[in-house]
């Protein structure tokens, strides 16, 4: 039973973590508002006014529409070069800092990368501004952690809280923000971690509301109940999204490879990508930025299918050129855009085939957004909550569940393309854990050499310690039944104390508490846990019979080697 003081200390630690999470939420909202102000400042310099990036681009003359992304790319590339010259003592990516790092993020690198993203987004780059907002919020969490000096686990959790606050502030989705970090980055939904994430996201959302910056991005207050007949088409749309999202991500990676093979310096690569994007914007200024206004028009205004298809193709090209040329920014929001266009096209085709469902295009547009997001991020639960919170419509939940789950399983079955590489890392670790649970320990067992009987004189044990470089001997009776161990340190202590040990037998000086034996049917995972609590190199393996028989020995080095073999095998999948 846990003692009172221990329980009190644990409670104090949990309360402190929640308070720190609230501070992370305050900073997450603050840096999001500051990034918005930075975008508006660049827009004033560029066009003399600020607003939606599509409107700003539409008001520019064609030649400035062509050049603005190239100029922004050149500046963004220069800032990235400067960021790469900064010391790499800490992580520059918040996902790495949380998933595989110690929570320490490079402040200078983080600020330079965020400024680079600002230059790209404010000049029309087809990436999400939200990615930089989340990064800055996570960076604030890391800085806060350095000031508070918690242990590594809590520092990582503080960075995760900052990221959750950033998602909450950027998208107006506090629950989805917490789930995003738990499901994708931490790979765990335990409430010990999820509680602080929720606090940070909720505080961030509250401050955005109080400051007047909160808005439900795609609010649908008058959305009618979804008919049961629409559930099967939603499932079909989810399957289609599961096939399409990996291709969208592969398109971006393919363009990135083309730019990489060109061998241009990073500023020139981003400038070239910006110039090509500018060519798209001269004819389609609505492809600039994250595409929020276009998605709103797809939800509320009828569009010809030819126009929707053209918008879809142009957005994929614009996003691939921006992200593929090396720009720092998220493709999370462009993924919502592509999913909305796909859902709209699907709804129009469904209306021609099934006229009774022709009036539910808005629902399918939203379902397409969620399903495409679930497929691209491999996080269906987050995608369901994200669309629900951005629309404030409970009517969307059931079709979203069917579509998002179908999209996830189809995409994971067809391809390994994911938006965040940390997702694959979590999946590999989980697969490795499963293999370790199912492989039995007896496959690593070796014969035990340093074995002595209980009736042997202690002098024989001393001789064996001289012959073998070990710290303890295994002791059995005449029938081979396990009795315990003789520790070298015990014999040495007895000799120094001038105790007459020569007249004793091994059965009189053995110990039962020195080691905790293994069993042959244990999994490698359980054996690793035993070794973690033991300082030695080897542990005995005994049977579960009564009396237990000494069967052999397992070495820690063999266990680690098998672990490495399994990990390499998983890497070949």
Query: How confident is the model over 481-500, as a mean pLDDT?
Result: 79
pLDDT score for 504 = 81
112, pLDDT greater than 70: yes
Q: Where residue 2 falls among pLDDT bands split at 50, 70, 90?
A: very low
pLDDT value at residue 573: 36
| C-alpha span between 204 and 167 (Å, rounded) | 9
Q: Give the confidence band of 199 by pLDDT, cuts at 50, 70, 90.
A: very high
Report the C-alpha gap between 200 and 151 in whole angstroms: 19
Band of the pLDDT at 49, cuts 50, 70, 90?
confident
pLDDT bin (cut points 50, 70, 90) of residue 10 is very low
**Is residue 426 pLDDT above 70, yes or no?**
no
Which is higher by pLDDT, 408 or 441?
A: 408
Question: pLDDT tens-digit profile of 127-146?
Answer: 888 888 988 998 999 889 88
- pLDDT value for 309: 94
Which residues touch 85 (CB under 8 Å, ≥6 apart)?
Answer: none
So what's the pLDDT on residue 169? 92
Taking phi over 0 as left and psi of -120 to 50 as alpha, with beta for the rest, 552 belongs to left
Q: Which tops the pLDDT comparison, 44 or 329?
A: 44
Q: Are 38 and 122 in contact (CB under 8 A)?
A: yes
The residue-averaged pLDDT of 257-263 equals 89
**What is the enclosing helix (H) or strand (E) of 510?**
none
Tell me the percentage of the chain whose pLDDT exceeds 70: 88
Residue 387 pLDDT exceeds 80: yes
Asked whether the predicted pLDDT for residue 462 surpasses 90, the reply is no
What distance in Å separates the CA atoms of residue 237 and residue 52, rounded to the nearest whole number? Answer: 30
* DSSP-based three-state secondary structure for 182: helix
pLDDT band at 216 (very low <50, low <70, confident <90, very high): confident
**Distance from C-alpha of 269 to C-alpha of 422, rounded to nearest angstrom:** 26
Q: Mean pLDDT, to the nearest integer, of 529-542?
A: 81
On the question of pLDDT at 64 being above 80, the answer is yes
Q: Model-level pTM?
A: 0.74
Q: Which of 415, 403, 409 is nearest to 236 (CA)?
A: 403
Which range, of 58-62, 222-226, 237-241, 354-358, averages the lowest pLDDT?
Answer: 222-226
| Predicted confidence (pLDDT) per residue in 76-93, tens digit | 999 988 888 875 555 566
- Cα-trace Rg, the chain: 30
Whether residue 271 is predicted with pLDDT greater than 60 in this model: the reply is yes
* DSSP conformation letters of 38-70: HHHHHHHHHHSS-S-HHHHHHHS-HHHHHHHHH
Greater pLDDT, 345 or 543: 345
Among 305-314, 346-355, 408-417, 558-567, the range with the most confident prediction by mean pLDDT is: 305-314
Mean of pLDDT over the chain: 84
d(C-alpha 167, C-alpha 180), whole Å: 8
Whether the Cβ atoms of residue 569 and residue 432 lie closer than 8 Å to each other:
no
Nearest of 334, 344, 321, 219 to residue 272 by alpha carbon: 321
Residues 70 and 271: beta-carbon distance below 8 Å: yes
In whole angstroms, give the CA distance from residue 15 to residue 488: 47
The pLDDT value recorded for residue 370 is 95
Q: Which class for 85: exposed (0-12), middle (13-18), buried (19 or more C-beta within 10 A)?
A: exposed
CA distance to 156, 295, 399, 429, per residue, from 315 (Å): 35, 12, 25, 35
């Amino acid at each position: 039973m846990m003692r009172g003081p221990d329980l009190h200390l644990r409670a104090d630690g949990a309360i402190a973590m929640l308070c720190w999470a609230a501070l992370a939420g305050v900073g997450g909202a603050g840096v999001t508002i500051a990034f918005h102000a930075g975008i508006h400042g660049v827009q004033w310099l560029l066009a003399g006014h600020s607003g939606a990036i599509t409107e700003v681009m539409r008001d520019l003359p064609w030649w400035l529409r062509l050049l603005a992304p190239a100029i922004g790319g050149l500046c963004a590339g220069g800032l990235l070069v400067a960021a790469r010259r900064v010391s790499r003592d800490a992580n520059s990516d918040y996902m790495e800092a949380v998933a595989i790092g110690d929570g320490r993020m490079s402040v200078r690198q983080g600020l330079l990368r965020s400024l680079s993203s600002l230059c790209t987004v404010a000049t029309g780059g087809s990436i999400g501004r939200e990615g930089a907002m989340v990064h800055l919020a996570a960076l604030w969490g890391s800085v806060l952690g350095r000031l508070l000096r918690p242990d590594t686990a809590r520092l990582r959790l503080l960075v995760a809280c900052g990221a959750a606050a950033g998602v909450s502030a950027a998208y107006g989705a506090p629950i989805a923000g917490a789930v995003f970090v738990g499901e994708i980055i931490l790979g765990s939904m335990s409430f010990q971690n999820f509680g602080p994430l929720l606090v940070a996201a909720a505080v961030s959302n509250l401050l955005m509301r109080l400051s007047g910056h909160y808005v439900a991005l795609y609010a649908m207050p008058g959305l009618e109940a979804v008919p049961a007949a629409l559930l099967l088409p939603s499932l079909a749309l989810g399957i289609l999204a599961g096939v399409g999202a990996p291709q969208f991500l592969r398109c971006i990676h393919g363009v990135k490879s083309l730019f990489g093979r060109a061998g241009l310096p990073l500023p020139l690569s981003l400038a070239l990508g910006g110039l090509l994007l500018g060519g798209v914007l001269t004819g389609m200024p609505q492809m600039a930025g994250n595409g929020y206004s276009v998605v709103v028009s797809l939800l509320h205004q009828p569009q010809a299918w030819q126009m929707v298809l053209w918008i879809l193709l142009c957005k994929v090209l614009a996003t691939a050129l921006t992200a593929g040329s090396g720009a720092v920014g998220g493709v999370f929001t462009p993924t919502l855009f592509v999913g909305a266009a796909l859902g709209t096209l699907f709804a129009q085709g469904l209306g021609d085939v099934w006229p009774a469902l022709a009036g539910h295009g808005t629902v399918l547009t939203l379902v397409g957004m969620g399903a495409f997001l679930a497929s691209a991020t491999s996080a269906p639960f987050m995608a369901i909550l994200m669309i629900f919170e951005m629309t404030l419509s409970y009517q969307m939940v059931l079709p979203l569940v069917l579509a998002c789950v179908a999209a996830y399983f189809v995409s994971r079955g067809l391809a390994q393309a994911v938006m965040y590489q940390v997702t694959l890392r979590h999946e590999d670790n989980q697969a490795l854990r499963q293999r370790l649970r199912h492989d039995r320990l007896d496959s690593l067992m070796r014969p035990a050499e340093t074995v002595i009987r209980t009736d042997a004189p202690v002098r024989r044990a001393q001789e064996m310690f001289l012959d073998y470089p070990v710290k303890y001997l295994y002791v059995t009776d005449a029938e081979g039944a396990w009795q315990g161990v003789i520790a070298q340190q015990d014999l040495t202590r007895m000799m120094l104390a001038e105790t007459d040990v020569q007249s004793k037998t091994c059965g009189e000086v053995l110990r039962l508490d020195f080691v905790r034996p293994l069993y042959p049917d244990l999994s490698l995972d359980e054996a690793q846990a035993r070794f973690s609590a033991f300082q030695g190199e080897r542990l005995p393996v005994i049977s579960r019979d009564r009396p237990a028989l000494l069967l052999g020995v397992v070495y820690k080095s063999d266990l680690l080697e098998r672990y490495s073999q399994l990990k390499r095998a998983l890497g070949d999948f």
